Amino acid sequence: MKKKMNNKGFSLVELIIVIAIMVVLGVVVALALTKYPEQAKKATDTENATSICTALQIWAVDPDRTDSLTGGSVTVSSTGTSPSAGFATNALTNAGFPTTTKAEGTWTNAQSYTINFTFDTAGAIAFTYSPTDFSNEMTHTKATT
């Protein structure tokens, strides 16, 4: 006498195990993907800051420039770009840099960053950045813990 095997599908235990594995994999993937939007925002900020620095450098060597080489700052916040008066304003205006550029990433719990610049006696421009984590990003240094 032959015994009939009832192999019509998966058991309830097998289905629960498969669902549990899928849930765990879904959570791992979701956690891995949540960091990318903030990284993209910070990359946008560093690119905008690089463009601002380039505009200041180009304006400093422009032969048609009539203003003096004076230091200053450019602050980019959630409301837009705010250059200090004089050299910075002229540099960004002549470069066509939009004043509506806004900070994207979160730098030390503040959605803004500042680019400070100074000139030495030879006319070379030097940049410093704040806050510290934005400065580390711009100068490609790792934060110390």
Q: Which of 28-32, 89-93, 108-112, 141-145 has the highest mean pLDDT?
A: 89-93
Q: Rounded to a whole number, what is the distance in angstroms from the first to the last CA of the chain?
A: 75
pLDDT bracket for residue 76 (50, 70, 90) = very high
* pLDDT tens digits for range 80-133: 899 988 899 999 999 998 888 899 888 877 789 999 999 988 889 999 999 988
C-alpha 67/C-alpha 56 separation (Å) is 13
pTM: 0.76
DSSP 76-137: EETTEEEEPTTHHHHHHHHHT--TT----S-BTTBS-EEEEEEE-TT--EEEEEESHHHHHH
Phi, psi of 119 (to 5 degrees): -120, 140
Question: Looking at residue 89, what is its pLDDT?
Answer: 92
Peptide linkage before 98 cis (omega within 30 of 0) = no
Structure tokens at 143: 């934060």
Question: Looking at residue 99, what is its pLDDT?
Answer: 83
